[in-house]
Amino acid sequence: MCIAAGQRTVPDDFDVHSCHCYFLLAGSGELPIVFHVERVRDGRSFATRTVQARQKGRCIFTTTVSFVREGSSGSPGSQVAHASLMPRGDDGQPLRPPPDDFDGEPELVKQGPFQSHRIDVVNRGSEHAHEKKTRQWLRARGTISGGRQAHAAALAYISDSYFIGTVTRIHRLWRFPFKADEFDKLPADLQHKVRTLHDWEGLGNDPRDMVGQPVIGMMVSLDHTIYFHEPRKVRADEWMLNEMESPWSGDGRAVVTQKIFGKDGTLIATCVQEGIIRLQEPPKPAEGGKESKL
């Protein structure tokens, strides 16, 4: 929404090429949001805007958005160009999207404005989290109207999904509101739901494998950056591949990077997000250094 608000203040031949966002306060889905746009600079090639999302007079989210005028970079002969290629599968061929008529989502995840495919964790068996990657196909549900600006805004929305949660998958952190060793005590229908979600997120089909794994205590996004490489090629209602990895975590925070490829293999965006990641504290022993028997 912030990108869409900023886009309305620049000429039509300017496309968003980057935005830098900060999550400041928790928002409410029951209150209206006011978007305040400040015109920072209008140049011949670039335009800059800051946008604040406000509720009850308080800024809950802020972003700086930069736009570039189409064709302002000169002729192709005066530029350098390269791009990452679509990742390859086990068969050595570029990954292929699900069929256009894909309808294989479990009922549990058939919510929200975008459709997703099961997450694949690459190098799942590695002992080093930074060597793992997650890959997932996503697209907006239905058909997007509103032109390229609407597609860019939809990509921004989709890019925040599953993002900082990448850390829980590459570290195999338990996220459900009960202990992993209590799985067998759950009703059969709830076991089925947990097993389905666990497998859909690329962690395998047996949640009991997570017994003894660390448990998430807090996870929240701090900031989010998007670089739109090919804004006029974004088709957010067609399949896009998200590839995510984390080069670093520590001090209660983690950084995740994301590459977004279009259906045709074009690298259309690169994103970076930092978030707070805290584990539940282990239970304290009883006084005297002995564990309680209660």
- Tell me: the pLDDT tens digits for 39-77? 999 999 999 999 999 999 999 999 999 999 998 887 777
CA angle 78, 76, 10 (to 5 degrees): 100
Q: Which tens digit of pLDDT belongs to each residue from 24-44?
A: 999 998 999 999 999 999 999
Residue 290 pLDDT exceeds 60: no
Q: Do domains 1-71 and 105-221+229-279 have the same CATH topology?
A: yes
CA quadruple 274, 127, 120, 112: dihedral sign: negative
pTM here is 0.92
Per-residue pLDDT reduced to its tens digit, 82-107: 999 999 998 999 999 999 999 999 98
CA distance 99 to 96: 9
Q: What is the pLDDT of residue 181?
A: 94
Report which DSSP code applies to 192: H
Q: Give the confidence band of 108 by pLDDT, cuts at 50, 70, 90.
A: confident
Enumerate long-range contacts of 110-114, CB under 8 Å, 24 or more apart: 113/140, 113/141, 113/157, 114/138, 114/139, 114/140, 114/141, 114/154, 114/157, 114/158, 114/161
Domain range 1-71, its CATH number among 3.90.1300.10, 3.40.50.2300, 3.40.190.10, 3.10.129.10: 3.10.129.10
Phi, psi dihedrals of residue 53, rounded to the nearest 5°: -100, 125
Q: pLDDT tens for residues 242-255?
A: 999 999 999 999 99
Show me where the domains of the chain are located. 1-71, 105-221+229-279
What average pLDDT does range 188-217 have in this prediction? 94
Question: What does the pLDDT read at residue 286?
Answer: 62
Task: Work out the average pLDDT over 195-209.
Answer: 93
On the question of pLDDT at 294 being above 80, the answer is: no
Q: Is a pLDDT exceeding 60 seen at residue 196?
A: yes
pLDDT at 292 over 50: no
| Whether residue 262 has pLDDT greater than 50 | yes
Strands 133-140 and 240-250 come out as antiparallel
- The reported pLDDT for the residue numbered 285 is 66
> What separation in angstroms does the CA of 223 have from each of 56, 158, 173, 183, 280?
22, 15, 22, 34, 23
What pLDDT was estimated at residue 293?
A: 44
Query: What number is the average pLDDT over the span 267-277?
Result: 97
Give the H or E element holding residue 276: strand 267-279
CATH for 105-221+229-279 is 3.10.129.10
